[in-house]
Amino acid sequence: MPYNIAMVSDFFFPQPGGVESHIYQLSTKLIDRGHKVIVITHAYEGRTGVRYLTNGLKVYHVPFLVMYRSASFPTVFSFFPIFRNIVIREEIEIVHGHASLSSLCHEAILHARTMGLRTVFTDHSLFGFADAASILTNKLLKFTLSDVDHVICVSHTCKENTVLRASLDPLMVSVIPNAVVAENFRPLFHPSYPNLSEFGTNVVPLPQHLGHHDTITIVVISRLFYNKGTDLLVAAIPRILANHPNVRFIIAGSGPKAIDLEQMLEKNVLQDRVEMLGPVRHEEVRDVMVRGHIYLHPSLTEAFGTVIVEAASCGLYVVCTQVGGIPEVLPAHMTVFAKPEEDDLVAATGRAIAALRANKVRTEDFHDQVKKWYSWTDVARRTERVYDGISGVLSEADFYGYEAADAASWSATRGRAGVQSFALIDRLKRYYGCGIWAGKLFCLCVVIDYLLFLFLEIWAPRDAIDIARNWPKKVKKERAISAGSTFR
Amino acid sequence: MAPTQAPNPSSLKTTFPPLTRATTLPSVSRNLATDRTLLTPEDAMYQGSPPRKQSAAGNKLQKELRMTNGENGDASGMPRRGRNKDRIRSASRRGKRVWSKLLWVKQSYPDNYTDQATFLEHLQRNPRLQPYDFWPLVADSTVIVQHVCSVIIFIVCFVGIFHRRIAPEAVVGWGSVATILGWVLWDWWVGQEESSKPLAPAIPPPPPSSISAGSSTSNLNGNPMLSRHSKSASTSSINSQALHSTPRAPNFPPSSPMSHRTSLRLSTAKSALLIYFTLLGLSPILKSLTRSTSSDSIWAMSFMLFTINIFFFDYGTPAPSSSINTGNKNIPASLSTNAALMASTVLASRLPSTGQVFSLTLFSIEVFGLFPVFRRYARQRDWRGHVALTSFLVVGAGGGVGLILGRGGDGEGLLDFPWKSGLLGVLIGVVGTGLAMGGCSWWLIGLQKYKNEIHGPWDPARPVIRRQWDDY
């Protein structure tokens, strides 16, 4: 059954990034599956109001004060009037928020629950429990996620983290990984993509074999920040280059640690063996990747690590640190894992070089395997199952995995079919458990939000809000799908 | 759960006691979960975020989601069997393949499946917990007591001078005598240390020639281990070359340590004289510095500055291994010293005569600049001297406050003698300090049980880099 879904996040195009492309790809694939999807984000430079993207994806750029790195200022209630208007106008049934640092998403989830909508939250990042910023974010996350229908995490480590941070029931957290658009990350030569040279002939060269004296190129594409492990990289590159004479590096990306990298190159006189490309656009990442044989990813924390999947899809052998969700992402025949230590990283890179030289790694198969494992169509299908579960289409036993006999007595706060109740008193109960002081404060916020909702219902009645017409393409598609299903 | 505790297949055939919350939960966490309001992993799994009724199905859920890290190793073997039974049943319901924590495998389990065996298995709680003991805590708190007492003594001296009850010359005279005595003691200690390590590198640790020496000497440790000391001494000399105002020969021949020390003494005396005469010249300016400001503002300001001084003072003992990082560590210490000197300057500007201003400023340099360096060194050298110094300071501060606040010797009452209020102050000070030290230590130990530090694979890894690029 088709749903009307609103994706809410502070992070969306035109700003580039992982969350942004996740929202876009997921929305596109959900539209392909017959749902109606809109995106609500804050206004970017020169982009306010409503925009349509490819495939009829409607984007609302709400004017909002941007505080830091495109995260909007957290005003608990100010988003409500316009959010309610959009939701009623677009007949939204499910509100899907993204990214835990986006206050727009948290507000939307709170208001959506007040309005009686189903909510889903997708967490894209890992947080510790030690520093002050994390503690504050965790408290806010707990506030929002006290009353959410389902949470999606991008890896199992991320799930454990989110369950701990927001004190969630693990069964209401699903793990749905990110995916890659395999067509955009294809290897240099691949049978399924005819490689047209300038003479118009289809060139499919033989699989290349690396001898003992061929040059192996190691690619690093990352923002050069501390938590991306640039210090490890700076320490490891001279040693790798000293151990292996026929090895070159290509480093793309920019950031505050770029100076350290350049100093290291100056000091060790490695300019002819290490190529620094500076920042590259996301479209150009593939063209950089296919120049190399090994992708080195020295990150210190990573929820999923989309870039290593992209590298494997380009046919690169991956050397990465064993942190966060990375060990879950790729199988052992595609990767060499290293501890986040200089010595181990050097050793792992050495192992990878030796394996490539011995032709033990069948990198030409990587693309098809990754394409099979990580596709956005699959992600959209699995996300749809979550929507089915929270809307009561799937029975509780199917969705949460209990026997049907237990379903009736399972929970006081879940209403019919494994769905959390919208009654204000039940919501207040859930918020009250957040902490001695925080619980009362959260309850106060929820009550005010509810009063605001009642006020808005009187002040701007539903009848006065026009219903937006749907993108015509969607209707056509639906008809095609239904026609296809009847023929089958 | 440790992998060695793999369930025995034969145990599955035995009968089980009914799996209720009481039987499946480990006893430790049950106690914890009842009377706390803090977030713990157990809360995440037992209570969930919604406060949920403890129904039979809820018990079943909790049983499935029981935490399985190593903490409940003390629980009996029975929950293990229960979990295994569950697992086999659910596996048979959904398919034969075992769930694995991988994203690239197409699994026959739903996306929200939570595997009890591996969920949160890498969770660590309080991995670096060090339980405090009572008496070491009390002993460590003497550092704070010393500093607070020296601040109080300084304020008492100011009040005495301000009310013309103490002659400023006496204050600065006694202070200077004590400073010179302390310096002589210091010099003797340094000499002892050098004679105890004849093969150590040539450059000896610098003497407390000026305030800037405080930062460089903070690298020293009193531990007479030769290798450690030589390392810290050499690094401190690097620091002191940058910090010292007095120039000094960088490569002194190791054959003549005595003459080197003599030259250091001379340079110390030189900088002391420099400070003396600079202050003497500045005193008239300081006297009229805040004439246009009202006294109330000055009291409030100096109170705040002394508070900053106490809170930002560097109470820690310098770790010998981290002597490279002392550059960062000295920043709060210098903030503290600067705050105290500024407070004493604005206080001194309230005094009417140049001589009083000069005395108080010089005294403040002695108390806030030189005395902490001496205290830090004395604590490492001689523990009994440290305790004696602490008691002396407590008595002095208590007695001083008593004398300032009390009105002894004015001929009223029966038990009237001149030092009555002073003695009373000493008594209250000693008792109060003892109670505060013991009480705060006990309180800190009591608070330690609320420590709940969670570590896991989501924390950013700490990179281990063997070689430092030492040119930046």
Q: Does residue A306 sit in the same domain as residue A239?
A: yes
Q: A358, A373, A388: which is the final residue of a domain?
A: A373
Cis preceding linkage at B257, omega within 30 = no
Instruction: Spell out which residues of chain A touch residue B55, defining contact as CB-CB under 8 Å.
Output: 409-412
A:B CB pairs within 8 Å: 193
Q: Does residue A482 lie within any of the structural domains? A: no
pLDDT tens for each residue of B18-59: 433 333 333 333 333 333 444 444 444 444 333 333 344 434
pLDDT of residue B438: 92
Q: What is the mean pLDDT of residues A163-177?
A: 87
Burial class (CB in 10 A: 0-12, 13-18, 19+), A197: exposed
Q: Does residue A129 sit in the same domain as residue A206?
A: no
Q: Does residue A481 lie within any of the structural domains? A: no
Closest residue of B to A331, CA-based? B104
pTM of the prediction? Answer: 0.69
Q: What is the mean pLDDT of residues A227-256?
A: 91
Q: Does residue A480 lie within any of the structural domains? A: no
Residue of A164, A304, A422, A426 to mutate for B, most B C-beta atoms under 10 A? A164
* pLDDT band (50, 70, 90) for residue A208: low
Reduced to 3 states (helix: H, G, I; strand: E, B; else coil), residue B455 is: strand
Q: Does residue A174 lie within any of the structural domains? A: yes
Q: Does residue A84 sit in the same domain as residue A135?
A: yes
- Please give the residue range of the domain that contains residue A368: 182-373
pLDDT of residue B410: 55
The enclosing domain of A340 has a CATH number of 3.40.50.2000
Q: Does residue A141 sit in the same domain as residue A260?
A: no
A227: contact with B, CB 8 A cutoff = yes
Q: Which residues are registered as beta bridge partners of B405? A: none
Q: Are residues A35 and A128 in contact, defined by beta-carbon separation less than 8 angstroms? A: no
Strands A66-68 and A71-72: antiparallel
Q: Does residue A128 sit in the same domain as residue A52?
A: yes
* pLDDT band (50, 70, 90) for residue A402: low
Q: Report the amino acid identity of residue B22.
A: A
Q: Does residue A247 lie within any of the structural domains? A: yes
Q: A373, A396, A414: which is the final residue of a domain?
A: A373
pLDDT of residue B417: 63
- Residue-wise DSSP of B403-417: HHH--TTSS-SSS--
Chain A residues 66-125 with CB within 8 Å of chain B: none
A197: contact with B, CB 8 A cutoff = no
pLDDT of residue B34: 38
Q: Does residue A246 sit in the same domain as residue A366?
A: yes
Minimal Cα–Cα distance from B277 to chain A, Å?
47
pLDDT of residue B93: 47
Q: Does residue A274 sit in the same domain as residue A332?
A: yes
Q: Which residues of chain B fall below pLDDT 70?
A: 1-96, 197-258, 317-332, 407-418, 467-472
Q: Does residue A236 lie within any of the structural domains? A: yes
Domain total in chain A = 2
Instruction: Spell out which residues of chain A touch residue B57, defining contact as CB-CB under 8 Å.
Output: 402, 406-407, 409-411
Q: Does residue A127 sit in the same domain as residue A227?
A: no
Q: What is the 3-state secondary structure (H, E, C) of chain A?
A: CCCEEEEECCCCCCCCCHHHHHHHHHHHHHHHCCCEEEEEEECECCECEEEEEHHHEEEEEECCCEEECCEECCCCCCCHHHHHHHHHHHCCCEEEEECCCCHHHHHHHHHHHHCCCEEEEEECCCCCCCCHHHHHHHHHHHHHHCCCCEEEECCHHHHHHHHHHHCCCHHHEEECCCCCCHHHHCCCCECCECCECCCCCECCCCCCCCCCCCCEEEEEECCCCHHHCHHHHHHHHHHHHHHCCCEEEEEECCCCCHHHHHHHHHHHCCCCCEEEEECCCHHHHHHHHCCCCEEEECCCCCCCCHHHHHHHHCCCEEEEECCCCHHHHCCCCCEEEECCEHHHHHHHHHHHHHHHHCCCCCHHHHHHHHHHHCCHHHHHHHHHHHHHHHHCCCCHHHHHCCCHHHHCCCCCCECHHHCECCCHHHHHHHHHCCCHHHHHHHHHHHHHHHHHHHHHHHHCCHHHCCCCCCCHHHHHHHHHHHHHHHHC
H/E segment holding residue B76: none
The CA distances from residue B343 to B163, B215, B315, in Å, are 18, 21, 20
Q: Give percent above pLDDT 90 in chain A.
A: 43
Q: Does residue A390 sit in the same domain as residue A356?
A: no
Are A300 and B461 an interchain contact pair (Cβ–Cβ within 8 Å)?
yes
A229, A232, A409 member nearest B55 (Cβ)? A409
Q: Which residue has the higher pLDDT, A76 or A408?
A: A76
pLDDT of residue B201: 44
pLDDT of residue B298: 92
Q: What is the mean pLDDT of residues A124-140?
A: 83
pLDDT of residue B99: 84
Q: Does residue A188 sit in the same domain as residue A304?
A: yes
pLDDT tops 50 at residue A3: yes
ipTM above 0.90, yes or no: no
Q: Does residue A488 lie within any of the structural domains? A: no
pLDDT tens for each residue of A275-299: 999 888 888 899 999 999 999 999 9
Instruction: Spell out which residues of chain B touch residue A442, defining contact as CB-CB under 8 Å.
Output: none
Q: Does residue A223 sit in the same domain as residue A309?
A: yes
Q: Which residue has the higher pLDDT, B79 or A15?
A: A15
A150, A343, A412 member nearest B53 (Cβ)? A412
Are B458 and A158 an interchain contact pair (Cβ–Cβ within 8 Å)?
yes
Closest residue of A to B120, CA-based? A160
Instruction: Spell out which residues of chain A touch residue B43, defining contact as CB-CB under 8 Å.
Output: 167
Residues B415 and A285: their CA atoms lie apart, in Å, by: 91
Q: Does residue A84 sit in the same domain as residue A96?
A: yes
Q: A373, A397, A429: which is the final residue of a domain?
A: A373
A127, A325, A340 member nearest B463 (Cβ)? A340
Q: Which residue has the higher pLDDT, A210 or A484?
A: A210
Closest residue of B to A155, CA-based? B103
Q: Are residues A320 and A246 in contact, defined by beta-carbon separation less than 8 angstroms? A: no
Reduced to 3 states (helix: H, G, I; strand: E, B; else coil), residue B287 is: helix
Q: Does residue A156 lie within any of the structural domains? A: yes
A264: contact with B, CB 8 A cutoff = yes
* pLDDT band (50, 70, 90) for residue A435: confident
pLDDT of residue A400: 73
Residues A158 and A166: their CA atoms lie apart, in Å, by: 12
Closest residue of A to B468, CA-based? A235
pLDDT tens for each residue of A446-476: 999 999 999 999 999 988 888 888 877 645 5
Q: Which residues are registered as beta bridge partners of A126? A: none
Q: Are residues A431 and A441 in contact, defined by beta-carbon separation less than 8 angstroms? A: no
pLDDT of residue A438: 86
